[in-house]
Amino acid sequence: MRILDFYPANCKNCYKCVRNCSVKAIKMIDDQAQIVEEKCIACGNCFLVCPQNARNIHSDLDNVTQALKRGKKIIISIAPSYLGVYEEPYKLITVLKHLGASAVEETSIGAAKVTELYKEFVKETNIKNVITTCCPTVNMMVQTYYPDLIKYLIPIDSPMIAHCKMIRKKYGSEAFIVFLGPCISKKCEAYGYQLSGILDGVISFEELDKLLELRNIDISTFEESYPDVEGNYTGKKYPLDNGVLSGMKEVVQENNFTPLSISGIDNLRGAFDALLSGDLSDVIIEANSCDGGCLGGPAIPKKSKNVHVRKTKVKTKVQSFKNKEYTNYSQDKTISYVRNFRNKHYEFLSYTEEDIKNILEITGKHGKADELNCGACGYDTCREKAISVLEGLSHPQMCMPYMRSEAEKISNIYFEYSPSIILIVDLDLNILDLNPAGEKAFNININNIRKKPLSSIMPVDDFKSVIETESNMVGRKLNLENYGLIVFQRIIYLPKNKILFGILNDISMEEMKKEQIINFKLNTLETADKVIEKQMRVAQEIAGLLGETTAETKTALLKLKKVVLEENESNG
């Protein structure tokens, strides 16, 4: 089951998640970020920085709600960081009871048990270095990226699992056990234990706040109450820097360890690299993946005060518990708190220098001088970015300098070689730029007219109109008689850039051809008119001749008829 992933979002050219993922467990497919499970250590940094809030985190809220409807006995183990996260933490306990919890216990009970087990482990084990295992992200980080350090991980359950085992033993199989805390990776840690019945759900403080908001519940309106079982001073300090090691001072000194409290993945990486190289030894490391420890967890509500305020609140509140011991749980010897870690080493594929060089060249990096290592793509170096492309985690177009160069190259080619006149002016109608086609048409050099008024080379009425109307002029014919040009003019208004972009297409030849065609038509009509007039004149002349001939013929026939009649009378 996928615990963590991203919802599809407007995820383009941002790469904040990649930049903030210390182990680069994110791949980009069709401009969508996806988590690579086998690389991920569930730190949650990618979700914290995502501007689209595209976090898709598995939630057990529905399961808890169904358990309430079925009348299950809900037992909540609440992380000790709640004392700093919430303004009125003890009112939160009342709210949890109001929501249906049968009992609320502090996870610090399990933390105190873990401290005891840690001390026993250090005393009884001849080990060179020690790394605490309360933080599931640290455990995943070591198993995935530093498998040679697994031998230094203390094979003891986390406080969450230890406490849930205690609760299960106390309340039996009918109880529905829920962990409530500031952590996302606890969901990953809990998954296997949920299948085995140790606990039933993990809810983050952030999820709880969304539920309260949905149900219109205001914590401040409730009375204070206290957890059914509270942890002691040792366990309550776990969310603080040095919180684990402060309960182990004597055993640490007896075994000649140097205690180190390290928070933050990058800081941990430095320490782990030093352990591998041998530069660091005889140390016991309190390891927390979040800067500020658990009080800097990724699932703390955004409205909570900053991490320094949270730390101060916790330090103040735990002082009253300095000498208090929990007595609610018997030291049941039948519960095993031992856990094992296994090698989950992520095998990075190896690529030849030629493969890497080919990818670098695709993005315009033909030598070391071209490798800017700007980090805009999310990778620290251009070389790492090239390898990620070969791994299928990214693509060449994620390189911002390369894409900008390509865009500028295309725009420059268009500007330089366009047959159209292209000019750029500011809103005061001063010339900012003119392309070579424009220089040729106006017979000027841009260097001689830059920052000079546009009116010095052409009419500006249309440009003024565009500024006044704040709308583009789609197209208009303009006769530039001084240059022997007729142009089709388009003017684009760019208010954000405070410029006007003019494109003038030379249509002089077309206009000349149009005029020639018109003249040809007029000449043709005139010629046709003359021909028709001449034909009419000829027709009239022919008609006149035909009329005379007909009259003469008629006279001759009449004379012939008279002669014939006279001959008939004389013979008769």
Tens of pLDDT, residue by residue over 127-157, are 999 999 999 999 999 999 999 999 999 999 9
Check residue 147 and give its pLDDT: 97
107 CB neighbour count, 10 Å cutoff: 31
**Spatial distance between the Cα atoms of 472 and 455, rounded to a whole number of angstroms:** 19
Check residue 539 and give its pLDDT: 61
75 contacts 101 by C-beta, under 8 angstroms: yes
CATH architecture assignment, domain 59-293+311-319: 3-Layer(aba) Sandwich (3.40)
**62: enclosing H helix or E strand:** helix 61-69
Angle between helices 136-145 and 265-277 (to 10 degrees): 40
What would the mean pLDDT of 81-107 be, rounded to a whole number? 96
Domain ranges (residues) in the chain: 1-58, 59-293+311-319, 353-406, 418-506
Whole-Å CA distances, 179 to 82, 87, 175, 500, 553? 12, 20, 13, 61, 134
- 422-457: burial string, b at 16+ Cβ within 10 Å, e else: bbbbeeeeebeebbebbbebbebebeebeeeebeeb
- Residue spans of alpha helices (H) in 245-381: 249-254, 265-277, 307-318, 353-362
What would the mean pLDDT of 306-317 be, rounded to a whole number? 92
Sign (positive or negative) of CA dihedral 409, 412, 414, 419: negative
* Phi/psi of residue 178, nearest 5 degrees: -125, 130
Q: Which residues on neighbouring strands pair with residue 176, listed in sequence order?
A: 74
Amino acid making up residue 361: E
Q: Which of 251-255, 268-272, 472-476 has the highest mean pLDDT?
A: 268-272
Q: Which two tokens stand for residue 465?
A: 């109109």
Least confident of 19-33, 262-276, 394-408: 394-408
Amino acid making up residue 10: N
Q: How far apart are the first and last CA of the chain?
A: 142
Using a 10 angstrom Cβ sphere, with 0-12 exposed, 13-18 middle and 19 or more buried, the burial of residue 259 is: middle
* Structure-derived torsion over alpha carbons of residues 71, 206, 185, 390, reported in degrees to the nearest 10: 130
pTM, rounded to two decimals: 0.73
CATH code that applies to domain 418-506: 3.30.450.20
What would the mean pLDDT of 6-29 be, rounded to a whole number? 85
Tell whether domain 1-58 is in CATH 3.30.70.20.
yes
Q: Which two tokens stand for residue 98?
A: 């109001």
User: Where do we find the tokens 């002016």?
Assistant: 425
239 contacts 183 by C-beta, under 8 angstroms: no
Between 554 and 46, the higher pLDDT residue: 46
Q: Do 1-58 and 418-506 show the same overall fold? A: no
Amino acid making up residue 189: E
Residue among 231, 183, 218 nearest 91 (CA): 218
- Write the DSSP string, 296-314: G-TTS-TTSPPHHHHHHHH
Q: For the chain, give the mean pLDDT.
A: 87
Q: Which two tokens stand for residue 134?
A: 């309360």
Residue among 348, 347, 342, 346 nearest 150 (CA): 342
HSE of 99 in the Cβ direction (CA atoms, 13 Å)?
A: 28
Q: Which two tokens stand for residue 291?
A: 């800067």
**Spatial distance between the Cα atoms of 227 and 94, rounded to a whole number of angstroms:** 9
What would the mean pLDDT of 270-281 be, rounded to a whole number? 96
Q: Is the pLDDT of residue 546 over 70?
A: no
Binned at pLDDT 50, 70 and 90, residue 523 comes out as low
